[in-house]
Copies of this chain bind each other. A is one copy, B any other.
Amino acid sequence: MRVDLALIHYPVCNRNREIIGSAVTNLDLHDIARAGRTFGIDRYYLVTPFADQQQLVRDILDHWQTGYGAGYNKDRKEALSIVRLCDDVAGLYKEVTAKWQQRPTVLATSAANSDRAVEYGDIRARIFAGEPFLILFGTGWGMAPELMAEVDGLLPPLKGGGDYNHLSVRSAAAIVLDRLLGDH
Contacts and interface: CB of A to CB of B under 8 A. Distances in A.
A38 B162 CA distance: 7
A119 to B, nearest CB: 10
Contacts of A35: 167-168, 171
User: Chain A interface secondary structure, helix, strand, loop or mixed?
Assistant: helix
A31 B168 contact: yes
Interface residues of A, number: 38
A160 B179 contact: no
Given A1-B161, A34-B166, A160-B40, A179 B171 contact: no
Interface in A142-184: 158-162, 164-168, 170-175, 177-179, 181-184
Interface string A81-116: 000000000000000000000000000000000000
